[in-house]
Amino acid sequence: MSLPRVAAAVSGGVDSAVAVRLLQEAGYAVEAWHLMLCRDAPDPAVGPLCETLGVPLRILDLRGAFERLVKGPFFEAYAHGETPNPCALCNPRIKFGLLAEAVGPDVLLATGHYAAVGTDPVSGRVALRRAADAAKDQSYFLYALPPAVLPRLRFPLAGLTRADTVALAQRLGLPIAQEKLASGSQDICFLPGGDYRPGLAERHPETQRAGDILDPSGRVIGRHTGLGNYTRGQRRGLGVACGGRVFVTGFDRARNTLTLGPKRDLEVCAFRIREANWFVPPTFPLRCEAVSRYRHPPFACAVEADGTVRPDAPQTLVTPGQACVFYRGPWVLGGGVIDSCPGA
């Protein structure tokens, strides 16, 4: 009897490496797939790592697709006044889209994400579930996966903490650089240092037109460097002294003005989502919890059939372009892209 085959996405980091080892211990026939997305060559750590693990390595060059499906839309969204989430784009389009196609329909697919797949006890559907480690759970970034791919997925790290994973890698003697072992977070892969503004200025120079900064009454209190350099809710790097904490609360793109105000001016009682994806078919109005920003606490809400989300209490962390993901307990029901909200 042949072992079940699984293609594991490997980056050269600790999470995917430990995922491969756990799959081997579970009896899978594992092959490693390394995706070239931003770099002109594979990560040099991947080859030695796969040799140590004893798994065949395949390289998949997706640089063109990554530019077309992730990087380009990312900067385009900023140019249109949104704050996009590139990982939420990459996962369904690249890692669980093109990679899933490349390995073929009869091969299981695994990654080092901290998430889980199981049967939702209410609907009986295969659905996504939070990982055991609440601090590391990445289900938020996976809400847009095609529901049909879920039965093929394996997430070996679902029950581990990040500390568990690092300890296991060290115990196994895996050749992983110390900085990768120590890092519990990761910058956006195509933005060294995490700053989107140089790339935006290069691709969309029209976003760099300077203009007036206004207070809530409409009084001019300063100058901005281009609306593309600011996001809703931003409070650092504004270059204006207001005698108290102020935030970016509004944009007027026709007049090219930016408005600053107190945190209460960010509060919204309703907003809309688009591009909704559901693992568990909803009955509207849907009562659930929502997360509108990674690692922020969920809030109770009602979701309507037209995509309107009505929080039980006003929310300030609602930004067009970000993902809003809906949960029932640990189960991911679905999610969408925040499309509009007052002041945005």
Q: Give the 3-state secondary structure percentages of the chain, helix then strand then coil, rounded to 5.
A: 30, 25, 45
pLDDT of residue 183: 65
Q: What pLDDT sits at residue 297?
A: 94
Round to whole Å and give the CA distance between 330 and 288.
11
Q: Which of 50, 87, 90, 301 is catalytic?
A: 90
Q: CB under 8 Å to 182, separation ≥6 — which residues?
A: none
Report the pLDDT value the prediction gives residue 184, as an integer from 0 to 100. Answer: 57
| Active site (annotated) includes residue 90 | yes
The predicted-structure confidence for 260-274, as pLDDT tens digits, reads as follows: 999 999 999 999 999
DSSP state of 92: I
Please give the structure tokens belonging to residue 249.
């609360």
Burial 68-94, CB ≥16 within 10 A → b, else e: ebbbeebbebbbebbbbbbbbbbbbbb
* Residues of the chain where predicted confidence (pLDDT) is lower than 50: none
Q: What is the CA radius of gyration of the chain?
A: 22
Instruction: List, for residues 271-318, the tens digit of each pLDDT value.
Output: 999 999 999 999 999 999 999 999 899 999 999 999 999 999 999 999
Q: What domains are there in the chain, each with its CATH number?
A: 5-192 (3.40.50.620), 209-266 (2.30.30.280), 271-340 (2.40.30.10)
How many CA atoms, within 13 angstroms, populate the side-chain half-sphere of residue 278? 14
The predicted structure's pLDDT at residue 189 = 87
Q: In what order do the strands lie in the sheet with 108-110?
A: 57-61, 29-36, 5-9, 108-110, 153-154
Contact predicate 31/20, CB 8 Å: no
pLDDT of residue 185: 55
Is 288 catalytic? The answer is no
Give me the helix-helix angle, 46-53 and 14-25, nearest 10°. Answer: 20
Instruction: Write down the pLDDT at residue 227.
Output: 95
State the CB neighbour count (10 A cutoff) for residue 191. 16
Tell me, what's the pLDDT at 241? 80
Half-sphere exposure of 39 (CA within 13 A, CB side): 12
pLDDT at 207: 96
Question: Which amino acid, one-letter code, is at 75?
Answer: F
pTM for this model (two decimals):
0.94
The pLDDT assigned to 314 comes to: 97
CA dist., res. 273 & res. 338, Å (int): 4
**In the chain, what's the furthest Cα-to-Cα distance?**
76
pLDDT at 99: 96
Structure token pair of residue 253 = 């793109």
Reported residue count of the chain is 344
